[in-house]
């Protein structure tokens, strides 16, 4: 298959090859070091022999050990390289049995893979598993905290749906008879189920459609899930965004210049200009705005993520301008695009896309689910905006035009305001129905 980004140039179909792929399979009865494999290729009377670079070792289960997640948030994937998709990250302290290795990658017993650099290996440990009895909860002023007391920190995964938040605990067996959960601003009901012998699934049915972010961490062996409440919305005409905190992230900066336009104009500069204009528009409407940078400097992707996680804004927006790879059709590729990752960010992405495309009569580049550093934070709905294509000669004129930049900023601020207003109105309608 061509690389994932080829969806952007429409060249994402499988490429046909005249070669046929040979796959073989064998079984080995006992654990052993088989050394380097030798490959033999024979065509008529010609024969080529080559020794492989890697070595093959069949490991006994007792040799594999237990991995403890040593990084703040362990990146788990569907396979043993960064080409494979990400799964729910594992909180620091998670303990999980290793069932296989490929290079520096470890296969974990519940199916995910992780780079061994993010783990500490404990040899001779017993496979971590736990029972769960009661589940506790605490209502904080801006969030609801659910506490899962466990015997050991087991792997977890999260799924967000419409009006539902689902948490799965692996290597866990329920011995639950009581769960207290009073009427809560967020949760209408908690359902749980032992879905398979070692998997317990908790479904939080939510009162409202929009979710405002979550955090997962281990405190010793207690899993703590924090579900954020809605910010206090209001119908003030003058300051509709008062009580709303927004993180604005002007993409790139410093040594990272991003895309560049036909005149050599850099994306990092235009991102900052529009972000500052947008900040001013949002502040005028009452919002508190936190910027990840206010001048031309290096800010790493991780630093930007940390700002979102610690600031806990109502929403986070990353501002970018797009550019096509060299083989793309620069003349005909243009328009405004939005990118989201967690389900909680989808409604904002679609709303802003429609709002900007309609009100600025911008070409519609599209709404994309996309795995990006600035769409991945889970602490708040986070959307990345590509305001236009710097590689398109006509759109570039508009991108660098100060008047068009001001219009873009005020339209985005209006769109954000309207999105919050829509949530406020549906909440009020629900309240009067009850
Ligand atoms: Zn960019």
Q: What is the pLDDT of residues 162-199, one digit of tens each?
A: 899 999 999 999 999 989 888 999 999 999 999 999 99
User: Could you tell me the distance, in angstroms and rounded to a whole number, from the CA of residue 322 to the centre of ligand 1?
Assistant: 6
Q: How far is CA 8 from the centre of its chain?
A: 20
> What is the distance between the alpha carbons of residues 70 and 93, in angstroms, rounded to a whole number?
6
Q: Which CATH number fits domain 245-423: 1.10.287.70, 1.10.1370.30, 3.40.630.40, 3.40.50.720?
A: 3.40.630.40
| Highest averaged pLDDT of the listed ranges 266-275, 318-327, 388-397, 417-426 | 266-275
- How far apart are alpha carbons 91 and 88 in whole angstroms? 9
Burial of residue 409, with CB atoms counted within 10 A of its CB: 0-12 exposed, 13-18 middle, 19 or more buried:
buried
- Mean pLDDT (the chain) is 93
Q: How many Å lie between the centroid of ligand 1 and the Cα of residue 266?
A: 10
pLDDT score recorded for residue 30: 85
Tokens 């749980």 label which residue?
A: 192
Contacts 24+ apart (CB under 8 A), 421-429: 421/233, 421/235, 421/240, 422/351, 423/210, 423/230, 423/233, 424/233, 424/234, 424/235, 426/208, 426/209, 427/208, 427/230, 427/233
When pLDDT is cut at 50, 70 and 90, the band that residue 336 belongs to is very high
Give the pLDDT confidence score for residue 16 in this predicted structure: 79
Architecture of domain 58-122: Roll (2.30)
Which CA distances in Å does 225 have to 137, 163, 175? Answer: 9, 17, 20
If you measure from the C-alpha of residue 384 to the centroid of ligand 1, how many angstroms do you get, rounded to a whole number? 9
Nearest to 227 by CA among 113, 125, 142: 142
Residue 339 Cα, ligand 1 centroid: separation in angstroms? Answer: 12
Q: What pLDDT score was predicted for residue 434?
A: 57
Q: Which tokens in the block code for residue 133?
A: 């009895």
Q: Does residue 82 surpass a pLDDT of 70?
A: yes
Res. 426 pLDDT band, cuts 50 70 90: confident
Tell me which fold the domain 130-228 belongs to.
Answer: Immunoglobulin-like (2.60.40)
Between CA 162 and CA 166, with CA 164 as vertex, the angle to 5 degrees is: 130
Select from 104, 108, 211, 119 the least CA-distant residue to 166.
211
Ligand 1 centroid from CA 408, angstroms = 17
CA of 320 to the centre of ligand 1 (A): 4
Look up the ipTM and state it. 0.99
- pLDDT band for 405, please (50, 70, 90 cuts): very high
Q: Are the C-beta atoms of 156 and 147 separated by less than 8 Å?
A: no
pLDDT band (50, 70, 90) for residue 40: confident
| pLDDT of amino acid 146 | 96
For residue 271, how far is its CA from the centre of ligand 1 (angstroms)?
8
Q: Which residue has the higher pLDDT, 400 or 41?
A: 400
H or E element in which residue 419 lies = helix 402-433
Residues carrying CATH 2.60.40.3500, the chain: 130-228
Q: What is the mean pLDDT of residues 260-278?
A: 94
- Return the pLDDT at 346: 98
Positions of CATH 3.40.630.40 in the chain: 245-423
What is the Å distance from ligand 1's center to 421 Cα? 29
Q: Identify whether the C-beta of residue 169 lies closer than 8 Å to the C-beta of residue 154.
A: yes
Q: 246 CA to middle of ligand 1, Å? A: 20
Strand pairing class (32-35; 56-58): antiparallel
Whether the per-residue pLDDT at 6 is higher than 90: the answer is no
Query: Is pLDDT of 25 > 60?
Result: yes
**84 CA distance to ligand 1 middle (Å):** 23
Q: Where are the alpha helices (DSSP H) in 220-373?
A: 267-284, 301-311, 346-359
């Amino acid at each position: 298959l061509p690389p994932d980004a080829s969806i952007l140039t429409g060249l994402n179909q499988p490429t046909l090859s005249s070669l046929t792929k040979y796959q073989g399979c064998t079984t080995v009865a006992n654990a052993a070091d088989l050394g380097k494999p030798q490959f033999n290729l024979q065509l008529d009377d010609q024969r080529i022999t080559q020794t492989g670079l890697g070595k093959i070792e069949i490991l006994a289960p007792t040799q594999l050990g237990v991995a403890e997640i040593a990084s703040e948030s362990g990146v788990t994937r569907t396979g043993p390289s960064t080409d494979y998709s990400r799964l729910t990250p594992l909180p620091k302290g998670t303990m999980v049995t290793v069932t296989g290795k490929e290079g520096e990658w470890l296969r974990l017993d519940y199916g995910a893979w992780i780079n061994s650099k993010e783990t500490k290996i404990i040899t001779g440990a017993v496979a971590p598993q736990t029972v769960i009895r009661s589940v506790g909860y605490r209502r904080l002023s801006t969030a609801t905290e659910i506490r899962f007391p466990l015997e050991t920190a087991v792997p977890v995964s999260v799924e967000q749906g419409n009006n539902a938040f689902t948490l799965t605990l692996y290597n866990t067996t329920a011995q639950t008879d009581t769960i207290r959960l009073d009427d809560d601003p967020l949760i209408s009901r908690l359902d749980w189920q032992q879905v398979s012998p070692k998997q317990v699934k908790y479904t939080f049915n939510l009162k409202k459609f929009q979710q405002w972010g979550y955090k997962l961490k281990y405190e010793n062996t207690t899993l703590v899930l924090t579900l954020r409440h809605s910010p206090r919305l209001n119908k003030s005409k003058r300051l509709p965004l008062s009580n709303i905190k927004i993180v604005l992230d002007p993409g790139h900066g410093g040594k990272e210049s991003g895309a560049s336009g036909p005149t050599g104009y850099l994306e990092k500069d235009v991102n900052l200009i529009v972000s500052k204009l947008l900040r001013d528009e949002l502040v005028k409407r009452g919002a508190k705005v936190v910027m990840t940078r206010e001048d031309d400097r290096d800010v790493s992707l991780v630093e930007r993520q940390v700002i979102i996680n610690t600031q806990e804004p109502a929403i986070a927006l990353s501002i970018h301008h797009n550019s096509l790879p060299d083989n793309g059709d620069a003349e005909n590729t243009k328009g405004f695009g939005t990118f989201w990752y967690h389900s909680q960010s989808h409604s904002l992405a679609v709303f802003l896309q429609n709002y900007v495309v309609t009100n600025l009569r911008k070409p519609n580049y599209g709404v994309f689910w996309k795995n990006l550093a600035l769409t991945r934070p889970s602490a708040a709905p986070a959307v990345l905006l590509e305001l236009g294509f710097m590689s398109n000669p006509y759109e570039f004129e508009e991108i660098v035009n100060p008047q068009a930049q001001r219009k873009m900023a005020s339209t985005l601020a209006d769109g954000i305001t309207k999105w919050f207003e829509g949530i406020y109105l549906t909440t009020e309608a629900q309240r009067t129905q009850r």
